[in-house]
Amino acid sequence: MINREETKMKSIDVRSDTVTHPTKRMYEAMFNAQIGDDVYYEDDTVNKLEKMAAELVGMEAALFVPTGTMGNQILVMAHCQRGQEIIIGIDHHVAEDEVAGCAVLAGVQTRTLPTKDGYMDLQDIENSIRKDIYDWIPETGLICLENSMQGRALSLEYMAKVRELGNKYKIPVHLDGARMFNACTALKCSPREMGQYVDSLNFCLSKGLCAPIGSMICGSKKLIQKARRLRKLLGGGMRQVGIIAAAGIIAIQEMIPQLEDDHRIARILAEELSLIPEVDVKFEALSTNMVFWQFRDQKMRNLVNFQQCLAKKNIKINLPWEPKYWFRFVIHHYIREEQVQQIVDAIKSYIAQSEDRIQASL
């Protein structure tokens, strides 16, 4: 168990781990940061962070970028030529939530595959690989993975098999590892062990690791040099950005080991929710910091009403993204164990009110 900091965050916010504020140690590090112009490679703090990131995942080089989206898109651009296609899960962030950046920026199309429990089928991947044997066939430029994938930690065995496919057909593999440390924590493996199966990866400092801004993209020296030019092209060449990188260093040094405790609290939440008869918890999707659950009874699924009811109790939630009624509650550094009970009590009180309403309407 870790000592969770008090925060200026005003509510119990389980919408995402992106809502986390910097820790006290991050504020101190930001205040004291050695800075310089990073476009001239002169920001010592950024240089230190990039070195640390590359070593952490066992790659030659790393680059600090403002967001995970920019990091992923830069790497798609760096790996692919215009007119190619990338193989990717239909519900992966790069395909679904990056404003069609692959098409707009890299000029590639996404060849999206269905996923089951977060995994693309290996045979589907192999069947989808295309070479330019005919004039009209787009060539596969990249295979994209995501881990953790909507809260699930995908196995290293699977990643190794995708790597083998990449090697067999000479196609690079990219990992959107926005939350790769959550996955590594769940799999009890090191980031290096995961990093060995891909040619490039992106990890976020600003999610469960609490830094205010920033992601790291990692790969070979040659790839990252190309990525650096592409970052400039997109307007992401930053100047005295050591102020922010300083928080990223603390994120790597101090916050990765704390993720295990987020996972512990997520499990407590899942178990407490499962004791409510009206609630169904998706335990099979629980391996990191995300708890998926739904109301069993259709009549309770007045979701906007539910969201407002929790908001009155100072609990912020997102509505389900798709009409499947599964809520996603995300645990992070600023959710304390005792707040789990407040969340559970608020849900129980909504259920009691709904049952009264349903009873009255009969």
Site residues (CB under 6 A) for ligand PLP?
Answer: 18, 67-69, 72, 93, 146, 176, 178, 204, 206, 215
CB nearer to ligand PLP: pick between 110 and 354:
110
> Whose CA is closest to 72, among 241, 228, 200, 213?
200
Residues 6 or more apart whose Cβ sits within 8 Å of residue 2: 258, 261
* CB nearer to ligand PLP: pick between 9 and 276: 9
Nearest to 252 by CA among 60, 75, 51: 51
Q: Least CB distance from residue 33 to ligand PLP, whole Å?
A: 21
| Cis before 148 (ω within 30) | yes
Comparing CB distances to ligand PLP, the nearer of 279 and 317 is: 317
20 or 215: whose CB is closer to ligand PLP?
215
Q: How many angstroms separate the Cα of 204 from the Cα of each of 64, 107, 132, 167, 212? A: 10, 24, 35, 27, 10
The torsion of the CA quartet 143, 148, 151, 153, rounded to 10 degrees, works out to 100
294 forms beta bridges with 280
Q: Which residue has the tokens 């769940």?
A: 186
Report phi then psi at 299, rounded to 5.
-65, -20
The residue with tokens 């009264």 is 356
Amino acid type, 206: S
Q: Are 72 and 93 in contact (CB under 8 A)?
A: yes
Instruction: Tell the smallest beta-carbon distance from residue 16 to ligand PLP (Å).
Output: 7
Shortest reach from residue 333's CB to ligand PLP, in Å: 16
Given the complex with ligand PLP, which of 96 and 271 has the nearer CB atom?
96
Cβ closest to ligand PLP, residue 17 vs residue 38: 17
Residue closest to ligand PLP (Cβ): 68
3-state secondary structure of 111: strand
Q: Which is nearer to ligand PLP, 72 or 84 (CB)?
A: 72
Cβ 150 to ligand PLP, closest distance in Å? 8
CA distance 256 to 177: 14
Pairwise CA distance, residues 98 & 70, whole Å: 9
Closer residue to ligand PLP, CB minimum distance, 20 or 72: 72
Closest CA to 191 of 202, 201, 181: 181
CA distance 61 to 58: 9
Residue 16 or 305 with smaller CB distance to ligand PLP: 16
Q: Least CB distance from residue 156 to ligand PLP, whole Å? A: 18
Query: How many other C-beta atoms can be found within 10 angstroms of the C-beta atom of residue 38?
Result: 21
Chain length of the chain: 362
